[in-house]
Structure 1
Amino acid sequence: MFDERDLAATRPAGMESEEWRLRVQLAACYRVFHERGWSEEIFNHITLSVPSHAAHYLINPFGLHYGEVTANNLVKIDLQGNPVGEAGYPVNRAGFVIHSAIHGARADAHCIMHTHNTAGVAVSCKEEGLKFNNFYSAFLSGNVAYHDFEGITVHPGEQDRLVQSLGSSNCLILRNHGLLVTGRNVPEAFYFNYVLQRACEVQVLADSMAGSNVPIAAQALAVSSRDVGLTDPDNDLYAKLFWAAVRRAGLTLYDLVQAPA
């Protein structure tokens, strides 16, 4: 979406071009979350691994709202939570415990998003969890795992259990807590976050209405997640969805490299 020459012109001296491109993309994602009301003040996290060093990843600076995150102020840390290079801000320990565990265990989980949206937390509190009986949840059949609540995730001892709970799934419902999704890149994780949140919103509303929900046949569930990619003739659904959201938010490269006034 952004011109390579403009990216090069704004890139800090000494930073690899690929890391800068990903910083801009991640900052754009934080701003889209802010625009859509998917953020929770200064809490929650979206992280992205740095391609030149698999053990390093980018995370939001603790204390800033999502609307204040820029490509420049994202913090790079290692899997032990130590800052890599200069860091002008601290990092939320809960974000380090959750995200470093998954980044370290799943080579395909380059991007991880954790949210506390109302519908997602509500579904996480229900014993039955997510029901595969609406248009959105059907896309996620067989791709949703669960992790029991152990308190605020600030203790490293929970990391192995988090990884075990997630398994090979892209979506993890943290019981009594919220939602977590993974992707090979920002657009893919954005897609799973969008679909999972919509599934929870529809479920909460449908369950508040009188009468029983219409079940979806097992065969229809099986083909729904498989066929979603067929909607895009270019086989580029995730990127199209994400960058359309960035455009809708009216974001420019200048917005993403300069701190808001």
Structure 2
Amino acid sequence: MFELPSLHIKDTVSEQEWRIRVDLAACYRLVADMGWGDLIYTHISAKVPGTEHYLVNAFGLAFEEVTASNLVKVDLSGNIIGDSPYSINPAGFTIHSAIHEARKDAHCILHLHTKATIAVASCEGGLQPWSQYSLFSLPSLSYHGYEGLAVEDGERARLQSDLGETNHMLLHNHGGLTLGETVGDAFMRFYDLQRACEIQIELMQMNAPVIEIPETIVDNIYAQASKVHSGETGGQKAWPAMLRKAYRLDPGFCE
């Protein structure tokens, strides 16, 4: 049986970097537990505080194998920083480096190929205002057209332009993406987007008329959501509970 290299780098990085590594590794484990993974083919990245470097999963590892120590540190040109026995996914580099370069507030980016986000992203009209969860995402939602595997450098500028200042994106025929100032913010935004897409698919399968939400309520919820899902009442509030869950699942992620 193939065994992964035993890496323990806590004493070689700053306290700030280690804290981000632990949060990011926990996020990978939680995504795996939620059933949002896609074998080894999707990516979550987090910026190393005070630098232009970011952390991402080693290409070839399952999400439940990610640890704080085996995350790979790279620069915006895709160069691996420090010693690592691993490489990174070229498609993951294109998407994450483009967004980290353009959005200085994007300290964490989740890009996942869940069935629900692919399905809704592949439908005419995209996400509909049919549930409370969709109203959390819609005020800051963008779309990006499918261009094949994201390995062409020319796609970077188009991805940056399509994303603009939004925090949620549906990539046509491809999946979903969220970003945030913390790992917790990005994770909770993806949770909302995923739930919104799941509910929309359920409603479409019911083939029954959907009760429309009055426009005045839609506008009010947009305003409420901007407060509820930011700062101390958003991802930063929910993340400690999610982190405790990651420790219960397997505390090995923080090695």
Residue 112 (structure 2) pairs with residue 115 (structure 1): yes
AA aligned opposite 2:169? L
Tell me by how many angstroms 1:158 deviates.
0.2
The answer on 1:73 being equivalent to 2:82 is no
CA–CA separation in structure 2 for the residues paired with 1:251 and 1:76: 26
What does residue 96 of structure 1 align with? 93
The amino acid that maps onto 1:99 is H
Residue 249 of structure 1 and its aligned partner are, at CA, apart by: 4.1
For 2:226 and 2:104, locate their aligned partners in 1 and report how far apart those are by CA, in whole Å. 23
Shift of 1:11: 6.2
Q: Which residue identity lines up with residue 30 of structure 1 in the other structure?
A: Y
**Is residue 2:180 matched to residue 1:188?**
no
The one-letter code sitting in structure 1 at the alignment partner of 2:224 is D
- Secondary structure of the corresponding residue to residue 140 of structure 1: helix
Say whether residues 1:15 and 2:10 are aligned partners.
no
Counterpart residue number, 2:147: 150
Residue matched to 2:3: none
For normalisation by structure 1, the TM-score amounts to 0.89
**Does the CA contact (< 8 Å) of 1:61 and 1:91 recur in 2?**
yes
Secondary structure of the 1:142 match is helix
Cα distance in 2 between the residues matched to 1:67 and 1:252: 10
Alignment-derived partner of residue 22 in structure 2: 24
Is 1:49 equivalent to 2:42 in the alignment?
no
Segment of structure 1 superposing worse, 178-187 or 246-255: 246-255
Q: Secondary structure at the match of 1:235?
A: helix
Q: Aligned partners of 2:250, 2:147: CA distance in 1, in Å?
A: 40
Q: Is the 8 A contact 1:206 1:213 kept in 2?
A: yes
Relative to 1, partners in 2 of residues 1:216 and 1:174: Cα closer, same or farther, differing over 3 Å? same
Aligned-residue CA RMSD in angstroms?
1.9
Structure 1 letter corresponding to 2:34: R
* Match status 1:140 vs 2:124: no
- Alignment match, 2:213: 216
Q: CA deviation at 1:140?
A: 1.9
Residue 70 of structure 1 aligns with an amino acid whose one-letter code is T
Identity %: 41
Cα–Cα, structure 1 residues 254 and 244, in superposed 2: closer, same or farther, change >3 Å? Answer: closer
Moved more, 249-258 or 119-128: 249-258
Q: What residue identity is the alignment partner of 2:199? A: V
The corresponding residue for 1:129 is 126
Shift of 1:199: 0.1
AA in 1 matched with 2:33: E
* 2:165 corresponds to: 168
Q: How many residues align?
A: 247
Q: Secondary structure at the match of 2:53?
A: strand
Work out the CA distance in 1 between the residues paired with 2:68 and 2:247.
Answer: 17
- Structure 2 residues not aligned, in runs of 5+: 1-7
